[in-house]
Structure 1
Amino acid sequence: MDSLRGLAVVLVVLHHAVGVPRVLGVGEGLLLPGWDGFVAFFSSFRMPTLLVMSGMLLATSVRKPLIPFISGKIRKVLWPYVVWVLLTLTALGGLSTVTNPRMWLTGPYHMWFLVVLLFCYPAGWLSRWIPAWLMAVGMVALLVVRDPSSTWIRRVLFYGAIFMMGAALRRYLPSLLAMPGWIAGLLGVVGLSIACSHSFRWGLAQLNHRQVWTLLLPWGGSCL
């Protein structure tokens, strides 16, 4: 699990190694040929892998008493978020963005991931009483039925559903690992096809919180 999470983190870093210089308008000529295709290959699997792995570890977290649970998330999620948002906004946006509450609420630039976790862990505490799969279904239902206009709410619900599905899958992990090789291979082919479609721009949609059906895309790629 640690190796898989580490690989996903490396892929996220490689993605931002392309994206951040472009946002800043520098470094375009430094990219290797085919780099965009390489980054796009993993576009629907990077963040879902991190979120599913985090969700699978939720059961261990919620076994703790409430105060140690909260203090741990403050140290490991909230405090890094505050530090890096402050540094990022100061460097790129100046004082006006640092004092803008909306920037802190939505998660500027690549910090949105920590906003999702800051939502998922308190919601995850409720998994002591409410099944994680039911919360995942509820989040998807809100996206479909209510269709929130706010981008950050859609993003939190969309990726929060992936987190909760990871939490729900933990109990089935032994069965998943013991699945017949041909099923894993078939799912791997599906995931490979999705990844190649992104890399070669064959038209298949990528993971997108504005398109709820794309929640289905990462699951085949989990076998890659």
Structure 2
Amino acid sequence: MTASTRLDWIDIAKAAAIVLIVLFHTTDWFLDALLPGSQGAVVRLWNDVSISLIPVRIPLFFLVSGLLAVSALERPWRTLTVTRFLALLWPFFVWTLLVMPFWMLRASYDDPLAILPLAVSTLFFAGAHYWYLPALIVALVIAKLTRRLPLTTLVAAALLAFSPRTVLEPLLGALPTILGVNVDRWFTFTFWFLVGCFARPVLERIAAWPRWAAFVAVAGFGGLIAVQRTVGVLALTTALVSIVGIIAAILLSAWASRSPSVVRVGRYLAARTLPIYVGHAFLFELVAVIAESSRRAGFAPSIGNTVTGVLVIPVVVIAAVAASAALYDASRRWNFAWLYEPPARLRTRLGYWAAHHASR
């Protein structure tokens, strides 16, 4: 496997992860907000598929983020402050403020101000819609601090990620609700970021496994999902499902990287995962509010037949991904890139500040 192929499978895995995130939000709440009562057999099947992918979707996103952050671990803190931390916090605050009024309207259309305190708290307690961005900073800080002890760090992170949540409930319960949820996410997903940072050679060897291994991994993942549904969600089965699912995702991405057309799409989406991540959540909230307003005005569309039911979810996912990517591309042409990245002047000033304090 060439260096180019290795990069291609990482891009494809990253693209797949963001598409699966959009799929989850579509089946989890957006479709019902758009078309209330859309719970036919086909829609339920899509929902079951999306739920089954929970052990893979966000872990894969963090794993790929870790793979792409390896070089950053050796950079000085002042450099990380400008190139990574600010680059993540800026869109977090901008898009949280943008999505907030629409989220409030969707959650409480008749009295949106009732949830204003909760909405504002997301700015200070690591987010709701955009929790991944602060979580990535936490994971990067941990990886940098522990980079000299990779094995010990991975073992400790695995114990936190896969331990029964009853062990952590006293700590999480003592925190404000939003913060408690996000700290739980940090415990759960930082492990996968660290795997990406510290175990890249292992992951590359897995990606080079023969094609039949992908079929075995997919079958194993499906079997473990079936077991988990039979016996319930246990820490052991959760760990196994995630590990086998991640292996399957890596192998499928490596296999897909043999197709030039898939590689082109993967590269395009991988370069726009942040815009898709922030953009689709905003668009979903906006459209959900418009849909609610339309229903109150007497217009209430529904899924009319099985064919529509089969197509509606993939159409929504593709439209959300395409619209989010198009909005980002337009921002580059029409000078509103500040939606996604901090202005150059702010980066320069923060760089001066970081350099000044580092020299003291």
| TM-score above 0.5, yes or no | yes
In structure 2, how many angstroms separate the alpha carbons of the residues matched to 1:11 and 1:152?
A: 20
Post-superposition Cα deviations, 1:145-165, rounded to whole Å, max 9, x if no partner, equal: 962334332221111112112
C-alpha deviation, 1:47, in angstroms: 0.8
Aligned to 2:244: 220
Give the number of the structure with larger relative contact order, counting CA–CA contacts within 8 Å between residues 6 or more apart: 2
Q: In the superposition, relative to structure 1, how do residues 142 and 176 fare at CA in structure 2: closer, same or farther (>3 Å)?
A: closer
C-alpha deviation, 1:192, in angstroms: 2.8
In structure 1, how many angstroms separate the alpha carbons of the residues matched to 2:146 and 2:138?
A: 13
In structure 1, how many angstroms separate the alpha carbons of the residues matched to 2:135 and 2:236?
A: 16
Q: Which amino acid aligns with 1:105?
A: F
In structure 2, how many angstroms separate the alpha carbons of the residues matched to 1:35 and 1:177?
A: 28
Q: In the superposition, relative to structure 1, how do residues 140 and 175 fare at CA in structure 2: closer, same or farther (>3 Å)?
A: closer
Residue 118 (str. 1) matches residue 137 (str. 2): yes
In structure 2, how many angstroms separate the alpha carbons of the residues matched to 1:141 and 1:202?
A: 24
Deviates more, 1:65-74 or 1:212-221: 212-221
Residue 80 (str. 1) matches residue 110 (str. 2): no
Residue 176 (str. 1) matches residue 200 (str. 2): no
Aligned to 1:205: 233
C-alpha deviation, 1:180, in angstroms: 5.7
Q: In the superposition, relative to structure 1, how do residues 204 and 122 fare at CA in structure 2: closer, same or farther (>3 Å)?
A: same
Within 5 Å, give how 1:179-198 maps onto structure 2: 179=209, 185-195=215-225
RMSD (Å), alpha carbons: 3.1
User: Equivalent residue of 1:107, what SS?
Assistant: coil
Is the CA contact 2:224–2:240 (under 8 Å) kept in the aligned structure 1? no
C-alpha deviation, 1:91, in angstroms: 2.3
Aligned to 1:107: 127
Of 36, 39, 43, which residue of structure 2 is paired with 1:28? Answer: 36
Aligned to 1:96: 117
Of 157, 176, 180, which residue of structure 2 is paired with 1:139? Answer: 157
TM-score, normalised with respect to structure 1: 0.78
TM-score, normalised with respect to structure 2: 0.51
C-alpha deviation, 1:4, in angstroms: 1.3
Is the CA contact 1:89–1:97 (under 8 Å) kept in the aligned structure 2? no
Size of the aligned set, in residue pairs, is: 214
Q: Which amino acid aligns with 2:127?
A: G
Question: Which structure 1 segments of 5+ residues have no match?
Answer: none
Is the CA contact 2:18–2:61 (under 8 Å) kept in the aligned structure 1? yes
User: Equivalent residue of 1:28, what SS?
Assistant: coil
Deviates more, 1:183-192 or 1:71-80: 183-192
C-alpha deviation, 1:5, in angstroms: 0.7
